Structure 1
Amino acid sequence: MQITADRIAAARARVPEAFQAPLATRLRRALLWTLFIGLFGWCLVDFNISPARIWEGLGRLGRVFSFMFPPHVWTSWAEFSEIAKGLGETLAIAFLGTLLGAIFAYPLSFLGARTINRLTWLRHGARRGFDLIRAFETLILALIFIRAFGLGPLPGILAIAVSEIGTFAKLFSEALENTSDKPIEGVKASGGTRLQQIRFGIAPQVNPVILSILLYNFESNVRSGTILGIVGAGGIGFLLSDRIAAYKWDEAWSIIFLIIAMVYLIDWLSGLIRARLIGKSELAK
């Protein structure tokens, strides 16, 4: 059937909403776009974001980058040992914080899993507790623990551990809820107790997921450990902040490059571990 202008006009007359949104919808869209553009413009004005300021800042940023090249090269172990110690300290902070967070979060996650905890009030209370813990940023926790325990790696470890308790408990409980009931029913049919159902029916299903979560968060915590060091929680971040404060930009760039290399290496190693323990076919899904 040939489409003509008369047919289009007739169809438009029969079902006008198919060709154009109703007036109320168009007004609502226009209002929302006006509010969005107005809010965006207000932020630009209130924060003093102007082309002149950005251009001036880019010029200063270019001068900073020029000070970073060529990067500094440490010619003796005596000079580099402090940097190596800082890198190792950052790794240790991330590792211990992740491990402690997982140790406390694993049993708590059973309270937040619907398939394990049948008490609605207790399950929802546990979930809200996880949300409360996750509401505190790691950097804020580090500042609090620095006031309590002083400078050094300990506040950084505690800040990561407390933050990860909420994150891990939420993710672990969700993994527990996504398990299949068939292995559990098999253990139950064999006369297994509730604890044995968890041990042999649920744990084998969630352990690979938990391992993947732990490895990913460890990578993330290495980066977080760098930031925590800047506020005094030890690690390579403290040395980086010291070099920047002293305007030693070439050394700062070298430290940044080492941090990037360390994160890349950890990502590569964690990928190998996941492929070996979880299986390449699972990772490809």
Structure 2
Amino acid sequence: MSLAMSATERDDLVNRHQGAIDGSRKTRLITIGVIAALLGLFLYGLTTLEVSFWKLIAGFGNLGTFVVLMLPPDPGSLARAIIFVKALFETIAIAFLGTILAAIFAFPLGFLAAKNVVANRIVHFLARRSMDTVRGVDPLIWALIWVNVVGLGPFAGMLAIMTSDLGAFGKLYSEAIESADRKPVEGVTSVGGGKAHEIRFGLIPQVLPVIASQVLYYIESNTRSSTIIGIVGAGGIGLYLAETIRTLEWQQTSFLILLILVAVSAIDFLSGKLRFAIIGKRAV
């Protein structure tokens, strides 16, 4: 009898919540529409971009030829090697300074864009959309803009990195602030603290390790980005990389690529150590 009752209760439960189990027709139609749109975009890309696996297979032979031409990596002369190393440190300086300035300027923007700090919808909307606009422009485009504004050189590269990261940091900061635990904030409020005290003692101690970790990651990432923006005249090692490729100096090109890889690996190692020191190692 209990089994029969159990089956009956189960059937009754299914009948009462059939809509939630099966999902609404609107949800199914939206899901089908999204899948169809993505599939259509994929097929459109295959046809429009002239994707050819045969060309790819044939191109591996050309790739092997370039690899042979690049070996062994050779700067050409000691004086040339010193110039390349100086350009590498210039690239690292561009990435470091641009990232640090962006992190500083984005700090107040992150609080303006956080719903749990600024309740005004207009301020919140303007802050979010402004950061989206800045973040939506690639660093290479910002480099081209700043080169025309302040001229060629590493200053334009630093401004390009700073501008591009300003929007990204603002978004990341606001998300970290919005996901912070409310209990410390409520504790500050309960002892008579004002809004400034809530932010200083309730929110900042929670989000600071996350922010520091994000800044360290972006310093590493921007070292690679600084290499690319140097190609358009924004200073750094990218300028020499473009020059050696244009003049078909493949051994010098491979030497520059090797320098970049060593620098990125070293920065990745150091930033990883610093991140673990700040936020601690996660238990496995």
Shared fold, TM over 0.5: yes
Do residues 49 (structure 1) and 51 (structure 2) align? Answer: yes
Residue 59, structure 1, aligned to residue 61, structure 2: yes
Shift of 1:59: 2.4
In the alignment, does 2:169 pair up with 1:159? no
Aligned twin of 2:280: 279
Residue identity matched to 1:247 = L
Aligned to 1:242: 243
Q: Residues 92-111 of structure 1 correspond to what in structure 2 (within 5 A)?
A: 92-111=93-112
Question: Alpha carbons of 1:245 and 1:177: their partners in 2 closer, same or farther (altered >3 Å)?
Answer: same
Q: What pairs with 1:133-148 in structure 2 (closer than 5 Å)?
A: 133-148=134-149
The residue that corresponds to 1:254 in the other structure is 255
Q: CA deviation at 1:278?
A: 2.2
Q: Contact 2:153 / 2:235 at 8 angstroms: preserved in 1? A: yes
Please state how far the C-alpha of 1:55 moved relative to its aligned partner. Answer: 4.0
Does the 8 Å CA contact 2:74/2:255 hold for their aligned counterparts?
yes
Q: Is 1:194 aligned to residue 195 of structure 2?
A: yes
2-side partners of 1:254 and 1:182: how far apart?
A: 54
Task: State the match for 1:228 in structure 2.
Answer: 229
AA aligned to 1:49 is: V
Percent of residue pairs identical: 45
Residues in 2 aligned to 1:197 and 1:35: alpha-carbon distance in whole angstroms: 46
After superposition, residues 117-132 of structure 1 pair within 5 angstroms as 117-132=118-133
Deviates more, 1:79-88 or 1:66-75: 66-75
Is 2:75–2:81's contact at 8 Å kept on the other side of the alignment?
A: no
Deviation by residue 1:14-42 (Cα, 9 ceiling, x = unmatched): xxxxxxxxxxxxxx999998887776555
**Residue 20 (structure 1) aligns with:** none
Among 43, 63, 72, the residue aligned to 1:70: 72
Q: Which amino acid aligns with 2:272?
A: G
> TM-score with structure 1 length normalisation?
0.82
Say how many residue pairs are matched. Answer: 257
Change (3 A) 1:46 1:95: same
Rate the CA distance shift 1:124–1:40 in 2: closer, same or farther, 3 A. closer
Offset of 1:252 from its aligned partner? 0.5
Q: 1:195 offset after TM fit, Å?
A: 1.0
Q: SS of 1:116's equivalent?
A: coil
Q: AA paired with 1:178?
A: S
More displaced stretch, 182-191 vs 100-109: 182-191
Alpha-carbon distance in structure 2 between the residues aligned to 1:124 and 1:34:
32
Q: In structure 1, what is the Cα distance between the partners aligned to 2:93 and 2:257?
A: 18
State the AA in 2 paired with 1:50.
S
* Per-residue deviation, 1:46: 3.8
- Report Cα offsets for 1:52-95 as digits up to 9, x if no partner: 5334433222211110112215663x232101111111011101
**CA 1:29–1:88: 2 relative to 1, 3 Å:** closer
Instruction: Describe the shift of the 1:85–1:195 C-alpha distance in structure 2 as closer, same or farther (beyond 3 A).
Output: same
- Classify the secondary structure of the residue corresponding to 1:49: coil
1:270 aligns with 2:271: yes
Structure 2 match to 1:113? 114
Evaluate the alpha carbon distance shift between residue 34 and residue 116 of structure 1 in structure 2; reply closer, same or farther with a 3 A threshold: closer
Q: Return the offset for 1:169.
A: 0.6
1:71 alignment partner, SS class: coil
Q: CA deviation at 1:244?
A: 0.8
> Is this contact kept in 1: 2:139–2:160, CA < 8 A?
yes
Q: Which amino acid aligns with 1:209?
A: V
Secondary structure of the residue aligned to 2:213 is: helix
Call closer, same or farther: CA 1:250–1:110 in 2, change over 3 Å. Answer: same
- CA distance in 2 between counterparts of 1:279 and 1:178 reads 19
Read off the aligned partner of 2:119 and give its amino acid letter.
R
SS at 1:87 equivalent: helix
* CA 1:137–1:193: 2 relative to 1, 3 Å: same
Normalising by structure 2, report the TM-score: 0.82
Q: Give ranges in structure 2 of 5+ residues lacking alignment.
A: 1-29
237-246 or 38-47, which deviates more:
38-47
Residues 135-187 of structure 1: CA deviation (Å, up to 9, x unaligned)? 11111111111111111111111111111111101110111111111111222
Residue number in structure 2 paired with 1:171? 172
**Is 262-271 or 79-88 further displaced after alignment?**
79-88
